[in-house]
Amino acid sequence: MGFTQIDATLENFSTAFESIETNNVKDQVTLLLFLADKDPASGLSWCPDCVRAEPVIYKTLEKSEKNTVLLRAFAGNRPTWRNPSHPWRVDERFRLKGLPTLIRWRDGAIAGRLEDNEAHIESRISKLLE
């Protein structure tokens, strides 16, 4: 079935997040994937864990039978993310500690979460989709 992907930055995250919450349909899996920005020079994320996890996440979502919406939220460059008062670190809803973080969002709350050290493990991603 595949998945629908929406990209957001710090600047437009609230709008994108509200739109997926508002347009959520029955039996739809909503995932939030918090990532580091891409390095313009290489085209790859500055975060090695993101580089490792992204292809596994996308492959797992492609194989899934679930109707999935993936909101990719780009946290900024390294200095922006490293700031302890980064908006997604202090947001009560997410309290991010590392990148990437993959969250299953259901009924206005976190229904499952994979932190940076496990977001590249296909079996864990599949379990999050169940």
Catalytic residue numbers read 47, 50
Q: Are 69 and 60 in contact (CB under 8 A)?
A: no
Beta bridge partners of residue 45, listed in sequence order: 38
Q: How far apart are CA 48 and CA 59, in angstroms?
A: 18
Q: How far apart are CA 86 and CA 109, in angstroms?
A: 20
